[in-house]
Every structure is written in C-alpha cells, then in structure tokens.
Structure 1
Amino acid sequence: MPDSPQASGKVCPQCDRLLPAAEFHRNRRRADGLAYYCKSCAAARSTASRRRRGIGPQKRSATPVGEGLKWCPDCDQVKPVDEFPRTTKSSGRHSYCKPCHNARGRETVQRLYGGTREYHLRRRYGIGEKEFQELLAEQGGVCAICGTPDPQHVDHDHRTGWVRGILCFNCNGGLGQFRDDRSRLAGAITYLRGTTWQRVLIHPGVYQMCSPTRGRPPSPRS
C-alpha cells in the first residue's frame, strides 16, 4: 500500500517542490486533507491577490504585544483584549478595538446605505426610505390608526414580517403591548366601555353623561 500524503509529503504545484505535510495548511474538504499550495506559496498568492484588489500590505505592530493584550491596526495602539468586541473567530476577538470597530461600522453604513435610517429600515423591515414615504402618502401622511400627523414607526406582522403600515409611537407601542392579539384589543375596548364616563343620546340633540358600570370613584384625598 502506498504511503499517505501526510507520510510521504506532497508536491506544491506552484513551486514544484516535494515538501513535508507540515508545510501545507490543513483543508478537510480536500481528499488528502491538505491545502493545494504550500504555506509559503499560499501566502505569496494571497499577497498578490490583495495587491490586485488594491489592498495595501498587512499592518504589523511595531512593538511586541504581551499576554492579555491586542494591537489595533486602525489606531495603532496596544490595548487589553477586553477593549476588542467579541466574535466567533478562532481568536475570539475582532481585529479592531471597540471605537475603531464602531467607526468602521458607521462608515460602512454610510457608504452602502447613505445613513443609519436607510440601513435600519432595510435590515429590520426590508423596505427603504422611498417605500416608507410611499406608504405614508397612501395613508394621507397620518397614523393609520389615530390620525396623528407625521408618524415615523413601521408596523409589521411579527409572524410573516410583512409591513402593514406607518404608525405613531403610541399606536405602534400599543399594538406591541397587546401582542397583535385582536381578542385582547376587543377585551380592552369592552373594559373601557365599562369604566369610562360616556355621553349617551337620550333625545334628539340631547345627551346625558352616564357613569361607569364598574370601578370606584377616586379618593377625596387624591
């Protein structure tokens, strides 16, 4: 039986050298479990690719980085690892410290979406400012429930994600508190009818204020 690639080594097609398996990165997706190119050739190819894409040389810290510390390429400062956001990468931390990481995020949002509002609408509801304004115009520029002018909150079905309309802060929050449950909303209407003074028509053009059917009056001390 012939030796396995790990035992006999492997020829790198870039430099045409027979090298030990340790000179190749691991790659579970390949039959031999090793990368196609050796480590040095892979690094050279990666560098060349970065240059073609206009990416500059990878920065390195000018000073040694001690245990529990990490260097940020943007601000060129060595900081405790807790100053770097967590990530699922093998290192457990992002490459840039929290202020630089946030600044990069804001720059990306501005470059790709033109601002945080467009980003928020696209990411949360799947619509942009243009679609928002079209929905608002269809509602006459007012809240779809109470008619308050210039509402700014997108209401959507939490089960399907479909946008239903534009609401004011109070109406949007109210639906959320009632969990979009029509039986709860109907119960609230019934409750208000039984606890709120109402104007009742007793003769044509004559109204009478009727007291609630349940509840109790406020304390004289209140």
Structure 2
Amino acid sequence: MRNCSASGDDWTCDRSSDRYRLTKGLCPAHYSQFNRGRPLARITRHRSTPGGYLPCAFDGCDRAVSARGLCKGHYDQWSAGRPLAPLRKKRDSASYQAMLRHGVVECLGCGESKPVSEYSLLNRGGAPRPYCKPCHAERVRLALYGVTRDFLDLLLRHQRGSCAICGVSEQETGRSLHIDHDHACCPGRGCCGACVRGLVCSNCNTYGLAWYEALPPELRTFDLLNGYLANPPAKQLRAGAPAQGG
C-alpha cells in the first residue's frame, strides 16, 4: 500500500492506494490539480462526513470534492457542458471475472443479472460492456440528446404520458416516443440538450414536424403545430409551468 505523495509545509496527503487509484503517485484530487498546472494544495476536509472529506455536491454522490464543489467525474461533466448525471458504479475485478466465468453478468444500469449474450462487446477481446443492450442503447440516446433520464421522466409526466402533439401514448403505439429538438439550433440527429422541445410519436416527428417546418413561413397555418413550436413542453417544464391539460 502506498500513500499519495502530495505534501506541503504543514500537511501530507494520507490517501492510500487501497482506497484511491494513484496516478504518478498522486490521488485523483491531487492529480487533477497537477494536470491543470495548479500548485498542490490540501484537500478540503469536513468533520461531519465519513473519512473527513467534503463530499461532492451532486445529490447521492459520496466521492471527494475535486473542484467547484464537485468530484472529478461530475466536474468533468460540468466543464463539458453536459447535464450532471450519476457516475458509473464501480465493481472490483475479481467479482467481475467470477461473473464472466459463470456466463451471467450484472448490468450496472438496471441491476439485473443477464447472460453474456445480452451484452454487446466492448472490445476485440470479447469483453461485454458493463451495461446490457437496452441500458446501453438508452445511455447512448441520452448522451446524443444531452439530457438525463430524470429530465425525460419529468417531461413525459408533464405531457401526461403521451405525444406532445397528437396525444397518443407509448402503450398505444408499442414504441418509445421520439426526442424532438430544434434543428435550427443543432442541425442533425443529436443536440446540445438546451434545444430539446418535447417527446413526440414517430408519425408526428417524421410526417408532421419534419414536413411542416420545411414549409415556407406563410404556409404554416396549422394552429396545433404552431402552438407546439412556439411554446414546447420542455420550455414549459424549464419555466415551471403546470403539466399539460392540468
């Protein structure tokens, strides 16, 4: 076991390799300081928290603060302009290898233990991804549109569980609602997250909005779509407006 090599005139970091991964002999917080060209400084302590370290300000995260009140993982999300989201859970290599030997792996997303065949491959070595196929697809979708699962759940509840335009529900169509965003802000499939407008069914997204927004402004006379485009559900949600139909 080795301790972090960071020290000062009146302090020495006592973080050890049995709890923290050391890089260049430094714990994650001090390596972050070193990597940014900052002088190594004492990590903030807090008497009321286990281990004496001030925890990350993100709700439910118990990792030590690295910068701006956030742990390194959440600070990286913030600095990249992404919505703060729970970090990937950690599991030790021994338990993971044991699961592989039995051919059943616990998904870090849904928490279910599933056969290895239910996971796509992470690399050429054949190692399965830490998330099952549905959970991995959902993570890719959320990252593509710059939103969190909590935000989409709130948005769907705001829309009374149905398409923001025609009112059809996911249960009726048997398919998930599409995430609609303003293509004037972010052309293409993905977006920054700030221009997400609402959740709509496949028909409204493909044959309604795509066709309607391609029309010249003088031909856009459909009040239902004009109302959606002028004040979409996501804008209402961010403004604290009551749920649709409420």
TM-score (norm 2): 0.30
- Highest relative contact order (Cα 8 Å, sep 6+), 1 or 2? 2
The answer to which structure has the higher strand fraction is 1
Larger radius of gyration: 1
